[in-house]
Structure 1
Amino acid sequence: MDRELRRRMAAEVQAERERLLPLRAEATRTTIALVRQNTEQPPELVPYLNLAFLLGVRRTQGPDAVLAFALSLANWAVATVDEVARYTGRTAEQVVDQYETDIMAAHAEPEED
């Protein structure tokens, strides 16, 4: 990536961050609500529950709220991986590799009818 492209991308990211900043508090509340609602659910239901939640956010709050929510959720995911790594004595890369392996194995298994 050339220097000019990096500069333009950084400027775009900064502009979007500033634009979405007023939505940060609501996005954090939305993230907490999703995590509280969908943890301890059967793993096979979680993707459907998450999608229903996202569709509800988009329908009631609009596409910018979904983007702010996605950013909040991504920040939470990174922080959580870092914490799991610290508490388990593994690197963040090892934690991500384990989740990736688990997900790939789950998708490789034939679904039951």
Structure 2
Amino acid sequence: MDEEARRRMLVEVQAERERLLPLRAEATRTTIAMVRQNTEQPPDLVPYLNLAYLLGVRRTQGEDALIAFALSLANWAVATVDEVASYTGRSAEQVVDQYETDIMAARAESPEPWS
């Protein structure tokens, strides 16, 4: 990516961040509610529960709320990987590699479109 394209992308990202910032608190509450609801569920059911939650947010709150929610989830995922890495003495890359290996093994056993 050339310097000008990178600059344009950063400007767009900053503008979207500012536009979505008022939705941050609600997105965080939604993230916490979904994580609480969908943890400790059977692993093969979790993708469907998560998709139902995402569709519910889109249907009831709209596309901007869905994007804010997705951003919140992504931020939580990165923070969680960093925390797992810290607690286990591994690098974040090693934690991600382990999850990727586990997902590939699970797919080989039983093809699952949502993993």
Q: Which category of TM-score, normalised to the shorter sequence, fits these structures?
A: over 0.9
How well do the aligned residues superpose, as a CA RMSD in angstroms? 0.7
1:9 is aligned to 9
What letter matches 2:79 in structure 1?
A
2:49 is aligned to 49
1:83 partner SS: helix
TM-score normalised over the length of structure 1? 0.97
Q: Tell me the alpha carbon deviations over residues 54-96 of structure 1, each in whole angstroms, 9 at most, x when there is no partner.
A: 0000000001001000000000000000000000000000000
Percent pairwise identity: 86
Are 2:32 and 1:32 equivalent residues in the alignment? yes
- Report deviation, 1:38: 0.2
TM-score normalised over the length of structure 2? 0.95
Unaligned runs of 5+ in 2: none
Q: For 2:79 and 2:61, locate their aligned partners in 1 and report how far apart those are by CA, in whole Å.
A: 26
- Report deviation, 1:110: 3.4
Equivalences, count? 111
1:78 is aligned to 78
Q: For 1:96 and 1:32, locate their aligned partners in 2 and report how far apart those are by CA, in whole Å.
A: 22
Task: Map residues 93-112 of structure 1 onto 2, 5 A cutoff.
Answer: 93-110=93-110
Runs of 4+ in 1 over 4 A off after TM superposition: none
1:19 is aligned to 19
